Structure 1
Amino acid sequence: MTNSTSGGPTILRYTAFSGDPAGGNPAGIVLDAGGLDAAQMLAIAADVGYSESAFVTGIDERTLTVRYFSAKAEVTFCGHATLATAVAFAERQGAGELLFRTPAGEVPVTVAAGPDGVLRATMTSVEPSSEDVPAATVTEALAALHWAESDLDPAFPPRISYAGARHLVLAAGTRSRLADLDYDFTRLGAFMTSLDLTTVQLVWRESDTVYYVRDPFPVGGVVEDPATGAAALAFGAYLRELGVVTAPATITLHQGDDLGRPGVLTLELVPGDPRVRVSGEATAIA
């Protein structure tokens, strides 16, 4: 669960959006990163080897200043690492209200124990936004994914959605299309870099409130992110802007099933608040 060098920071390993250490999305966590510079944080993230790691560089009571690094670069926000960090902090300092100060803005997080005593965290996004995507951009994305235009669900137009990080939302017309992910790693990574995308959010609608999702993440140095909180928040905003759901609403995302690391992300839309909430469990990895 932990390791450290003599006098160095303690590195925690947690998985987010699952109560099973073998499910969800693993994240590295350093709760005492105040003495580390960016190069050291990047080196730790690369050594941990997960899609992202969170570094708490300052704590003022229950306000945490946090930076996030993939194995290749710093990112503005990471949902699953935020959720995992909140649970790890609450296990040591008690459940309740937290505030994460991130490069993308302030993110409130609530950690509470359920009837079974299991801690569950709920984070609230920064104010989201979205933008239409030119046809040429969609064409390049599909080429990199090895998808055809006919593979898309026409009810869900491609858009770039933001709720702390930018994600291109593409909806598959069938569950089998989503399950068959075999893309050009280099080409998709270059495409995403050109648009400052964190992931491509691939989705399939089982119902208006239940979706299966996958997130290629070549810009982070991994083929796929198993459970992506930031993309989930962006997708919740996308669904509301599209009019598929109306607040109040609860939306369930299943992610990681096709990787053998199943996780569940629960989205909540609240009337009168443009922000999106996502919640889930997190647990230490032995």
Structure 2
Amino acid sequence: MRWYRKAETWLAILALVVAGAAIVPGVMALVPANRSASADANGDRRAQQEEEEKKARADGPPVSIAGGGADYVPQYFAFPGATTSLGPAAGYAIGTPAYRSWLDSNDVRVVGAGAARFTVRALHEGTVIIQGMRLTDVRCTAPTDGTLVLPGPIGGPGEEVEKTVLAFDLAERSPRARTLLPGDTGSHFALGDPYFSKSIYLEGGAAGDARTFEVYFVAGSQDCEFGLDVNVTSNDKESWVPAELAEGVKRSQVAAFATRYRSIVAPTGPEDGWVGQKLVPVGTPIPGLTVTSPARNQEVAQTGATGHLGR
């Protein structure tokens, strides 16, 4: 009977092998189905996420407005306080971090004209229309007359960015966005007709169009601080969206030229490699800026008829 038990054992093993062979194709057939179900689930999640993002864009602001850095040079600067000694600042090279820190520590403000560069990106689906800009919460005071800091030599242009350029003349009773006519924005500003006689159209959505603006603010007879709003129409709804004038900055300030300063700081000459600055006598002639615009009947030198300051 021993041979019979062995035969039974082998028959049992053979049955298991046959059964396993029958099961494997069924199991293998389930793998593509499971993979397909997983892919479908991932696709559903992506579709849901895209739908949620689309709804968030529709419920949110029509555009984003992110500030960057404008390349406007040269710039005059002014401090509220007089400067009797430069100390270590006499050796600061213009444009270095130490020089910038020195300006900031003296409550510096740009004199004559300032600039902001920002990018408007359409977020809503469909067409987003930019129809205007306005200055907001404008606060003006008498010109800062403590220390005038003269600009150094002009460096080369920065990275060229395709941009839309316009300007505000702060001498206007109600400053409005105007065309900036061709010219040297280092010494002369010529402003023309209102800029937004034609609207700007951007297509929105996940990969919405963007437009970079460079906006100049030309001082009048007072120091002025202000914000800037952009007029946007989307889905037949008009809104004013605050602009970021520089990275993280919502307000800007531009000082007017004073008729007299208590002290003047100028860069050292080429014999010193333009590294450093010095105090110069009050009344030293400076180039200043000239401006023509509809708000000014004729070209007016912001530094007065003689083109001198401190007299």
Q: TM-score range by the shorter chain?
A: under 0.3
TM-score, normalised via structure 2 length: 0.21
Larger gyration radius, structure 1 or structure 2: 2
TM-score, normalised via structure 1 length: 0.22
